């Protein structure tokens, strides 16, 4: 028998001598599991080790690798210290340990808590372990949130990275001190803005002087930084300058909680309303004096006033450059409004740029929208849609009946299993007979449950298609023969628009419209 050993440590690597070493806990796990495999006379295929990863992290590299190898049946057994070392999520316990591993003919064993998929009798124990681990994750998440919230309210810096211009105080945890070299650049940005330079112009000045942007500066200094995912990530951009000019941390106020986690099961965050941010004044030494700060904020407020042409906000935050992916910025020449990629102007090599008038973009959107509606309203298309909807409604009724029938069978089998147990208690049947009957009925019940899941998924899919068709119909009725766009209509219809650089020969501007339907 070939065995794959899996080890995991969720704590910080405090026992490591160097970053490439295994921590002592991982070494102990490996030693124990290797000895266990040797005692069983199993051949060790490979040792998979995730050091410093949480049990709820589904993106653990070695965890993903062992699952991939298990699917290809490169070994027969997965061996862990405890079930929680493999995963703390009940969903993954059911998906892999109780679902896919038996299908892949993989046996799962955890030594300390005696989980063994070859022993059908301890399946409930494994499920209970999974449920307890799930509760543990949720409680731990709530406890961590509570501690972090308390620290934020007290103005303690809890971020992984210090804001550009500051660094973490080595003498006092959670406190920021000024990074003099970077702070000089921050002061220059604020002063340039008060002297009439725009945000793009300031970015261009810094790029031409070869000053690294905040991310690149931290990388060069060996400081912790967040890796940028966009092109030309070493250059200053319009939005880098814009964020700097409006960040209260530069006047000595601690601002945190701009983003909040969606769930303890994912690392994804979502923006929080400004009124829910945690702002504590006077927590650290300011880089920008209050007088300069107020002057900058007044200029920003004046620049934020809408243009007199009235349409400048029509596509606000909806249009992105096809080349670099950055949101295009509004501008006005005489009485005409335009959208342009400001990245191009930050540095000559930053982006080839994109430019379009709001009037031309509106005309393009209206043309494509009306063309889609015309195609949809075509007589043949209407007939197809009527037939399509008719067949979908018929399919939905059949699936509803199937789900109802399956649920009835599940209830019947549940009752049979209860009665079977009472027959065993009353000794109407022997233990051997009970186990034989139980296994048959239980397997049949599991098959029915799977059929319910599959049929319900099909039913949900049909409902989704019907809903999409209803949405299309509503949009057609609402926007047929539309002559003019407004902001509400743009929000309703458009997810985003990508605009490319104008072709010099044809005069065409590449436009990709991503609709909300």
Q: What is the pLDDT of residue 175?
A: 93
Q: Are 168 and 218 in contact (CB under 8 A)?
A: no
Q: What is the pLDDT of residue 385?
A: 52
CB burial class (10 A; 0-12, 13-18, 19+) of residue 220?
A: exposed
Interacting residues of 500 by C-beta distance below 8 A, sequence separation 6+ = 321, 322, 323, 354, 509, 510, 511
Q: What is the pLDDT of residue 379?
A: 46
159 closest CA partner among 271, 286, 245, 259: 259
CA atoms within 13 A on the CB side of 70: 26
Question: How crowded is residue 409: how many other Cβ atoms within 10 Å of its Cβ?
Answer: 16
Length of the chain as a residue count: 517
Q: In DSSP terms, which residues pair with 6 in a beta bridge? A: 48
Q: In DSSP terms, which residues pair with 514 in a beta bridge? A: 496
Q: Are 165 and 182 in contact (CB under 8 A)?
A: yes
Token pair of 30 as six digits: 């490996």
Token pair of 413 as six digits: 């089998």
C-alpha–C-alpha distance, residues 270 and 276, integer Å: 13
Q: What is the pLDDT of residue 267?
A: 57
343 closest CA partner among 243, 244, 241, 247: 241
Q: What is the DSSP string of 191-236?
A: HHHHTT--HHHHHHHHHHTTPPPHHHHHHHHT---PPP-STTTTS-
Q: Are 250 and 288 in contact (CB under 8 A)?
A: yes
Q: In DSSP terms, which residues pair with 16 in a beta bridge? A: none
Give Rg (Cα) of the chain. 31
Is the CA virtual torsion 135, 137, 140, 144 positive or negative? negative
134 closest CA partner among 95, 84, 90: 90
365 closest CA partner among 479, 472, 470: 479
Token pair of 130 as six digits: 């999974």
DSSP annotation of 96: I
Q: What is the pLDDT of residue 125?
A: 65
Q: Are 346 and 237 in contact (CB under 8 A)?
A: yes
Q: Are 476 and 377 in contact (CB under 8 A)?
A: yes
- Model-level pTM? 0.47
Distances (CA, A) of 168 to 164, 172, 173, 187, 201: 11, 8, 8, 19, 31
CA atoms within 13 A on the CB side of 139: 7
CB burial class (10 A; 0-12, 13-18, 19+) of residue 321?
A: buried
Q: Which residues of the chain have pLDDT under 50?
A: 11-23, 306-312, 379-380, 382-383, 386-388
Question: How crowded is residue 280: how many other Cβ atoms within 10 Å of its Cβ?
Answer: 16
C-alpha–C-alpha distance, residues 495 and 491, integer Å: 7
Q: What is the pLDDT of residue 5?
A: 93
* SS3 label, residue 324: coil
Q: What is the pLDDT of residue 143?
A: 64
Q: Are 114 and 36 in contact (CB under 8 A)?
A: no
């Amino acid at each position: 028998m070939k065995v794959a050993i899996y080890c995991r440590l969720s704590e910080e690597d405090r026992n490591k001598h160097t970053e490439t070493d295994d921590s002592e806990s991982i070494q102990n796990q490996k030693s124990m599991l290797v000895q266990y495999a040797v005692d069983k006379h199993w051949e060790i295929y490979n040792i998979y080790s995730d050091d410093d990863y949480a049990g709820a992290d589904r993106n653990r590299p070695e965890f993903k690798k062992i699952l991939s190898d298990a699917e290809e049946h490169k070994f027969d057994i997965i061996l862990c210290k405890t079930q929680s070392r493999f995963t703390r999520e009940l969903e993954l316990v059911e998906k892999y340990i109780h679902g896919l591993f038996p299908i892949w003919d993989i046996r799962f064993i955890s030594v300390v808590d005696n989980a063994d998929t070859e022993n059908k009798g301890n399946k409930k124990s494994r499920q209970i372990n999974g449920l307890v681990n799930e509760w543990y994750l949720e409680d731990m998440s709530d406890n961590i949130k509570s501690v972090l919230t308390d620290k934020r309210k007290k103005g303690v810096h809890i971020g992984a990275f210090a804001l550009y211009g500051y660094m973490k105080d080595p003498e006092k945890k959670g406190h920021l001190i000024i990074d003099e070299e970077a702070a000089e650049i921050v002061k220059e940005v604020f002063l340039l803005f008060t002297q009439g330079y725009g945000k793009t112009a300031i970015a261009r000045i810094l790029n031409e002087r070869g000053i690294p942007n905040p991310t690149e500066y931290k990388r060069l200094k060996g400081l912790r930084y967040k890796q940028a995912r966009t092109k030309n990530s070493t250059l200053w951009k319009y939005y880098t300058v814009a964020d700097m000019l409006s960040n209260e941390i530069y006047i000595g106020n601690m601002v945190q909680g701009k983003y909040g986690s969606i769930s303890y099961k994912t690392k994804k965050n979502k923006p929080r309303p400004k009124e829910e941010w945690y702002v504590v004044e006077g927590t650290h030494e300011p880089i920008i004096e209050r007088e300069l700060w107020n002057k900058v904020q007044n200029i920003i407020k004046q620049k934020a006033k809408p243009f007199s042409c009235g349409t400048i906000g029509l596509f606000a935050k909806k249009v992105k450059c096809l080349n670099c992916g950055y949101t295009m910025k509004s501008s006005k020449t005489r009485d005409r409004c335009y959208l342009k990629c400001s990245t191009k102007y930050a540095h000559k090599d930053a982006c080839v740029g994109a430019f379009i008038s709001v009037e031309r973009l509106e005309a393009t959107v209206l043309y494509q929208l009306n063309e889609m509606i015309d195609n949809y309203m075509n007589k043949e298309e209407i007939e197809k849609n009527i037939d399509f909807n008719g067949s979908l409604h018929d399919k939905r009724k059949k699936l509803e009946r199937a789900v109802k029938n399956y649920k009835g069978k599940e209830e019947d089998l549940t009752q049979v299993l209860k009665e079977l147990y009472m027959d065993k208690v009353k000794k109407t049947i022997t233990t051997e007979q009970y186990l034989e009957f139980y296994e048959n009925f239980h397997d049949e019940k599991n098959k029915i449950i799977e059929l319910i899941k599959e049929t319900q998924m099909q039913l949900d899919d049909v409902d989704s298609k019907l809903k999409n068709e209803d949405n299309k119909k509503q949009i057609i009725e609402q926007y047929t023969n539309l002559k003019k766009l407004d902001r509400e209509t743009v929000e309703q219809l458009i997810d985003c628009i990508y605009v490319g650089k104008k072709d010099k020969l044809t005069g065409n501007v590449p436009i990709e419209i991503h609709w909300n339907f």
